Amino acid sequence: MGSTTAGTRKKVTLQTIQSLYKKNEPITVLTASDFPSGHVADTAGMEIVLVGDSLAMVAMGMEDTNEVTMDEMLLHCRSVNRAVKSAFTIADLPMGSYETTPEKALTSAIRMVKEGGMKGVKLEGGAEMASTIRKISQSGIPVMAHIGLTPQRQHSLGGFRVQGKSAAGAVKLLRDALAVQKAGACMVLIEAVPSEIAEIVTRRLSVPTIGIGSGNGCSGQVLVQVDMLGNFPEGRFLPKFVKTYADVWGEARRGVEAYREEVKSKAFPSVEYTYPVSKEVLEEFEKVVDEVGEEE
Ligand SMILES: Nc1nc(=O)c2c([nH]1)NC[C@@H]1CN(c3ccc(C(=O)N[C@@H](CCC(=O)O)C(=O)O)cc3)CN21
Ligand SMILES: CC(C)C(=O)C(=O)O
Ligand SMILES: [Mg+2]
């Protein structure tokens, strides 16, 4: 099946993504927020690495995604970009960096490319964002549109709620998808929408859809990396759509506790973790040790 583990993998371009879409091969997308997470996503063969504003919550400990600034996003983008050699990179435009005018949005998108090293940008919203999407994509920066559950608009949506559940909601979703496609979006991310609805929307579009919590009928899938790796504090809430493929947190916790025990018991550092010194040097040093600092 398709592209495998990388290393010498060729650079993924929009054309690569287009050809996967044509072949009906699912497009793999994963978030990253720093050098190590960018590195593992890239070398494990993800086609797209997304610097999502969810990093506000998972990497910065903020309450939601609305607090993170453009400058903070750029810092994370630069770290991810140093690690990613093959994957196509996209970053979320954070709340406040694109809503006021298409010109402001383009300025922010250009910063993501020039300062963040990103290849494309993602922004939340449907039909109402069409002129913004057009402005950015006509300037040569690929735009992924994010519809369905749009976390930056959680207070209008009444929280992190499933979208497109009613017939009217599904019609709105389809209208949004068609509008952002017409405006030039190169991909449409669909978050937290019933599978059947997302599948029908995907069929009506001629650009790939990337689903999160929207079932198997999308052209590709995305998850937040720390979620799928189980790399988060005990007891943290996880959306129903997250499948956990590893227990990185458990392993990290086990390691730190073992280190603590061994420091307390003096089992660490044992001799193999220390540097040798010759007996002669040691004897010579011991001879003078009491005099050092007492001179004059
Ligand atoms: N770590 C993390 N993972 C994510 O997937 C994620 C973030 N953060 N932050 C930004 C958004 C917020 N996300 C969320 C958060 C909660 C639900 C949630 O509570 N879903 C409910 C369904 C609620 C309903 O019935 O309408 C669930 O049970 O999954 C969904 C998406 C997805 N994104
Ligand atoms: C969850 C994905 C789609 C995202 O927008 C993010 O990570 O911020
Ligand atoms: Mg986001």
108 vs 293, higher pLDDT: 108
pLDDT computed for residue 237 by the predictor? 87
> Quick one: which atom of ligand 2 is closest to the CA of 191?
3
Domain annotation covers residue 28: yes
In a domain, 273, yes or no: no
Cα separation, 191 vs 210, in Å, equals 8
pLDDT at residue 6, as a whole number? 46
Res 295: pLDDT: 78
The model's confidence at residue 8, banded by pLDDT at 50, 70 and 90, is confident
Would 267 be classed as within a structural domain?
A: no
**Mean pLDDT score of the chain:** 96
Q: Which two tokens stand for residue 108?
A: 């922010």
| Strand bridging mode 143-148 / 27-31 | unpaired
pLDDT of residue 1: 42
- 83 token code pair: 């690690």
Q: State the CATH number of the domain containing residue 91.
A: 3.20.20.60
Q: What percent of the chain has pLDDT over 90?
A: 94
What pLDDT is recorded for position 101? 98
Residue 250 has pLDDT above 50, yes or no: yes
Q: Which domain holds residue 69?
A: 14-250
7 has pLDDT over 70: no
Contact 250, 230 (CB under 8 A): yes
pLDDT digits (tens, 9 = 90+) for 28-44: 999 999 999 999 999 99
The DSSP symbol for 293 reads T
Residue 218 has pLDDT above 70, yes or no: yes
pLDDT attached to residue 234: 83
User: Terminal CA-to-CA distance of the chain, rounded, Å?
Assistant: 78
The maximal CA–CA distance of the chain, rounded, in angstroms, is: 92
Q: Is the CB of 33 under 6 A from ligand 2?
A: no
Task: Confirm whether 191 is a catalytic residue.
Answer: yes
Residue 55 within any structural domain of the chain:
yes
Ligand approaching nearest to the C-alpha of 154: 1
Q: From ligand 3's centre to the CA of 54, what distance in Å?
A: 5
The count of domains in the chain is: 1
Taking the centre of ligand 3 as the mean of its atom positions, its distance from the CA of residue 122, in whole angstroms, is: 8
> Could you tell me the pTM of the whole model?
0.94
Q: Is the dihedral of CA 136, 139, 141, 145 positive or negative?
A: positive
Length of the chain: 296
Mean pLDDT of 100-109: 98
Amino acid at 38: G
Q: Which residue bears the tokens 């506000």?
A: 56
Q: Is residue 285 part of a domain?
A: no
**Nearest alpha carbon to residue 30 among 197, 232, 245:** 245
Reply yes or no on whether the pLDDT at 58 is more than 90: yes
- Three-state DSSP at 243 gives coil
For the chain, give the secondary structure using H, E and C.
Answer: CCCCCCCCCCCCCHHHHHHHHHCCCCEEEEECCCHHHHHHHHHCCCCEEEECCCHHHHCCCCCCHHHCCHHHHHHHHHHHHHHCCCCEEEEECCCCCCCCCHHHHHHHHHHHHHCCCCCEEEEECCHHHHHHHHHHHHCCCCEEEEEECCHHHHHHHCCCCCCCCCHHHHHHHHHHHHHHHHCCCCEEEEECCCHHHHHHHHHHCCCCEEEECCCCCCCEEEECHHHHCCCCCCCCCCCCCCCCCCCHHHHHHHHHHHHHHHHHHCCCCCHHHCCCCCHHHHHHHHHHCCCCCCCC
Please check whether residue 270 lies inside any domain of the structure.
Answer: no
pLDDT tens profile 169-208: 999 999 999 999 999 999 999 999 999 999 999 999 999 9
Residue 270: which region, alpha, beta or left (left: phi > 0; alpha: psi -120 to 50)?
A: beta
Q: Is the CB of 227 under 6 A from ligand 1?
A: yes
For ligand 2, is residue 189 a contact (CB within 6 Å)? Answer: yes
pLDDT category at 5 given cuts 50, 70, 90 is: low
Residue 279 lies in a domain: no
Looking at residue 2, what is its pLDDT?
A: 47
103 found inside a domain? yes
> For the residues 250-266, what does the mean pLDDT come to?
98
Arithmetic mean of pLDDT, 216-227 = 98
User: Which residue owns the Cα nearest ligand 2 atom 7?
Assistant: 52
Report the alpha-carbon distance of residue 238 to residue 230 in Å, rounded. Answer: 10
Of the pLDDT bands very low, low, confident and very high (cuts 50, 70, 90), residue 4 is low
Cα of 5 vs centre of ligand 3, distance in Å, is 26
